[in-house]
């Protein structure tokens, strides 16, 4: 038997952890807790690195058992092979479906967090420009052809 079940079980566990981490990240954005955001991003990177290593292990197993082409392994090739297998591989099929569902959920959460972060960055940039007395709408061209904001003499810091 091909030792894939432990690999997919571990993948599922990592995806579940990632999903929880993405929820915590969203709450940290809501709380504007920068130290927590940095900590969570480090945790997220660690999980993604572990997932990459696990995927590499899975590919090596599939190549070792001549399921995938050594030179150009593809997911499609594995799925075609798996579809041809008997019911002994049903547990792997189930784990793959669960992992795909979790992955889709994680991608959605990550996209949502990305949009939240983008909104926060725009808001902070706007507030910073207000503090400096700049307006994003009032820009002039420099001699090099780029643009820069026009500075106001009445900044909050000078008021």
Residue-wise pLDDT for 109-149, tens only, equals 999 999 999 998 898 888 887 777 666 566 666 777 776 65
CB atoms within 10 A of CB 29: 19
**Does 28 reside within a domain?**
yes
The per-residue pLDDT for 39 is 96
**Does 63 reside within a domain?**
yes
Q: How confident is the model at residue 24 (pLDDT cuts 50, 70, 90)?
A: very high
Q: How confident is the model at residue 32 (pLDDT cuts 50, 70, 90)?
A: confident
**Does 158 reside within a domain?**
no
The per-residue pLDDT for 90 is 92
The per-residue pLDDT for 23 is 97
pLDDT of residue 11 exceeding 90, the answer is yes
The per-residue pLDDT for 150 is 61
Q: Give the number of domains in the chain.
A: 1
**What ranges in the chain are assigned the alpha helix state H?**
5-31, 34-64, 75-83, 90-132
**Does 13 reside within a domain?**
yes
Give the residue numbers spanning the domain of 132: 5-151
CB atoms within 10 A of CB 31: 10
38-42, 57-61, 143-147, 152-156, range with the lowest pLDDT: 152-156
**Does 156 reside within a domain?**
no
The per-residue pLDDT for 130 is 77
Token output for 96: 């793959």
The per-residue pLDDT for 131 is 79
**Does 135 reside within a domain?**
yes
Token output for 66: 């001549």
Question: The CATH number of the domain where 44 resides is what?
Answer: 1.20.58.300
**Does 159 reside within a domain?**
no
Alpha-carbon distance of 95 to 119, in angstroms, equals: 36
**Does 98 reside within a domain?**
yes
């Amino acid at each position: 038997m091909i030792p894939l079940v432990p690999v997919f079980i571990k993948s599922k566990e990592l995806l579940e952890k990632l999903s929880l981490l993405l929820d915590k990240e969203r709450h940290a954005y809501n709380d504007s807790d920068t130290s927590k955001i940095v900590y969570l991003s480090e945790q997220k990177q660690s999980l993604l690195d572990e997932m990459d290593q696990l995927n590499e292990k899975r590919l090596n197993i599939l190549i070792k058992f001549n399921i995938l082409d050594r030179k150009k392994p593809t997911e499609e090739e594995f799925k075609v092979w798996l579809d041809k297998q008997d019911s002994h591989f049903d547990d792997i099929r189930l784990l793959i479906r669960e992992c795909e569902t979790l992955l889709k959920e994680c991608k959605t959460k990550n996209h949502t967090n990305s949009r939240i972060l983008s909104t926060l960055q725009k808001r902070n940039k706007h507030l910073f420009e207000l503090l400096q007395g700049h307006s994003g709408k009032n820009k002039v061209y420099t001699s090099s052809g780029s643009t820069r904001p026009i500075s106001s003499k009445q900044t909050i810091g000078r008021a």
